[in-house]
Amino acid sequence: MTWTAAPTLHETDQAEYRADVGKVLSSFGKDAFARWEREGHTPREAPAALGAAGLFRRRWEDGAEGGLPLLVAMCQEICRVSGGLALAAMGHSEIFIGALRWLGETPSQLSLLESALDGRIIGCFGATEPHGGSNLRGVRTTAIAEGSGWRLKGTKRYISNVGRADYVLVLAKPEKPEHVSDLSLFLLPLDHPGVSIDGFFDTVGMQGCDVGQITFDVTLPYDALLGRPGIGLLYATHLLQFERLAICAQLTATADTALRLAVAYGRRRTVGDQRILDKQAIRHKLANCQAELWNLESRLSELVSVAQRNGKMPAHEISALKLAAGESTGRIIDTCMQIFGARGYSKNFPLERLWRDARLARLGGGTDEVLSDLIASGLDRHDPDADALIARLEALDAPRNSPQTHSSAASSNVRPVVA
């Protein structure tokens, strides 16, 4: 008899949670996800159904870090069928709900949190502006205190799911900021007078989730402000760690889906009387893909455990995983497309969609370049042991005096040339 260790409560909970996510997804029917791609919008009923099933509430009931295993499960299960819904659900759960749960204090904010957890209200996040790209220090949207409220004015673009959301979290600065990073975080209802959805951008991938631009000039109540004024950039930076981890979870699921399809195709496709999976060139390519994927999955699991154990997100390590996962997943999917041949490039097979969807990971949630610079900033620190070793090695870094060379030079009365 083969002995198998009983699953831990953590593993059991995660498996049950995955099954419950699957039940919600199956309720939409197999054709729904392709239809959302064609329409360019994920209906608000989709994330709302996840909330109504208690999935957002369960993700957060053990805390931000404590619920990370369920976040990973949710992202992976949704991403296998719809990258667009995964993107919309991630923004709602990890940024909108995350901000309300962390910073919400007033009765209206706490009421909004309850509605968001149950899926009655759907939120998204607006940070990028037309002139500044992802440089949040260059935000021009202004928030001016007026009477008992705020005057909020600006334009935000590249907002995921803004066409079907109810609220957007907005970063804004005071009229005369004391510092370039003096930003605050605001709750903006998208149906508020003075808010205009200007339109949507056609994108390469994630086509099931709209990406739009809004312009606004509105007066809001005082408790539209989340948290303390002036430290919104700090809040946003912290929330982005959860988004980045969610992206890593989606990437591992995407790579796993592509690899499983390629292996299945390799078993079925024959050249002559031989399966292409039996050809060494194919087997070795797939083996390398599997090795890369296992490394990503192991690191993701480890970082989730670290965050749970320490009660805080390891920011630099999460950024490093996202950087590596984006590049690795792109290579894995590209290899799988190659094995499918022309079918891999056809829209009749899902490889091209996985390929397009995965490309966003190297741009959204912090570009590769932003993450590389963040990681490098952690390298430039004093290291006494390494510094001392380098100093000793430099002191000993001189050419060796060879006895044979000295003897030969002396016997021939030739003076060695000293540089």
Of 87, 117, 147, the position where a domain reaches its end is: 117
pLDDT score at 180? 66
90 and 181 together in one domain: no
Is 50 exceeded by the pLDDT of residue 2?
no
DSSP secondary structure letters along 217-269: EEEEEGGGEESSTTBHHHHHHHHHHHHHHHHHHHHHHHHHHHHHHHHHHHHH-
- My answer on whether 35 and 95 are in the same domain is yes
Q: Is residue 104 a part of any domain in this protein? A: yes
Examine the domain organization and report whether 260 and 366 are in the same domain.
Answer: yes
Confidence of residue 133 (pLDDT cuts 50, 70, 90): low
Count of domains forming the chain: 3
pLDDT at 402 over 80: no
| pLDDT given at position 178 | 74
The mean pLDDT value for 402-410 works out to 57
With 70 as the cut, is the pLDDT of residue 172 above it?
A: yes
On whether both 60 and 109 belong to a single domain, the answer is yes
Kindly tell me if the per-residue pLDDT of 134 is higher than 80.
no
Mark whether 277 and 366 lie in a shared domain: yes
pLDDT on residue 5: 39
In a domain, 393, yes or no: no
Is the domain of 274 the same as that of 323? yes
> Does residue 299 fall inside a structural domain?
yes
Token pair of 56, please?
Answer: 């957002």
Q: Is residue 347 part of a domain?
A: yes
Question: What is the tens place of the pLDDT at every residue in 86-104?
Answer: 999 999 999 999 999 999 9
Q: What is the pLDDT of residue 10?
A: 65
| pLDDT in the model for residue 174 | 87
Question: Sorting pLDDT into bands at 50, 70 and 90, what band is 123?
Answer: very high
Judgement on whether residues 86 and 58 belong to the same structural domain of the protein: yes
pLDDT at 9: 46
Determine the Cα–Cα distance for residues 280 and 39; give it in Å rounded to an integer.
42
| Higher per-residue pLDDT: 362 or 180 | 362
Q: State how far the Cα of 353 lies from the Cα of 200, in Å rounded to an integer.
A: 20
DSSP category for residue 129? B
pLDDT digits (tens, 9 = 90+) for 366-381: 999 999 999 998 888 8
User: What residues have CB less than 8 Å from 325, skipping those under 6 apart?
Assistant: 247, 248, 251, 252, 296, 300, 361
Note whether 281 and 253 are same-domain residues: yes
Note the pLDDT tens digit of each residue in 174-210. 877 777 678 999 999 999 999 999 999 999 999 999 9
Question: How large a percentage of the chain has pLDDT more than 90?
Answer: 85
Boundary of a domain, candidates 344, 359, 379: 379
Q: CA 276 to CA 325: how far, in whole Å?
A: 27
Q: Give tens-digit pLDDT for 42-79.
A: 999 999 999 999 999 999 999 999 999 999 999 999 99
- Among 34, 134, 127, residue whose Cα is nearest residue 85: 34
Taking each continuous run of H as one helix and of E as one strand, the counts in the chain are 15, 10
Exposed / middle / buried, residue 63 (Cβ in 10 Å: 0-12, 13-18, 19+): exposed
The answer to whether position 283 is within a domain reads: yes
C-alpha 27/C-alpha 331 separation (Å) is: 33
Q: Residue 83's domain is classified under what CATH number?
A: 1.10.540.10
Predicted local confidence at residue 3, as pLDDT = 37
Kindly state whether residue 410 falls inside one of the protein's structural domains.
Answer: no
Amino acid at 305: S
pLDDT per position as a tens digit, 7-42: 444 677 889 999 999 999 999 988 999 999 999 999
Question: Which residues span the domain enclosing 64?
Answer: 11-117
- Give me the pLDDT at residue 277, please: 96
pLDDT at 405: 57
Total Cβ atoms within 10 A of residue 209: 31
According to the model, what pLDDT value does residue 1 have?
33
Question: pLDDT digit string (tens) for 233-252?
Answer: 999 999 999 999 999 999 99
Asked whether residue 113 falls in the same domain as residue 139, the answer is: no
357 and 264 in one domain? yes
pLDDT at 403: 67
**Mean of all residue pLDDT scores within the chain:** 92
Asked if 328 and 255 count as a contact pair (C-beta separation under 8 A), the reply is: yes
Say whether both 131 and 225 belong to one domain: yes
| Statement: residue 417 has pLDDT above 60 | no
In a domain, 1, yes or no: no
- The per-residue pLDDT for 378 is 86
Q: Is residue 356 part of a domain?
A: yes
Q: Is 350 exposed, middle or buried (0-12, 13-18, 19+ CB in 10 A)?
A: middle
Asked if residue 197 and residue 130 are part of one domain, the reply reads: yes
Which of 65, 91, 117 represents a domain boundary (last residue)? 117
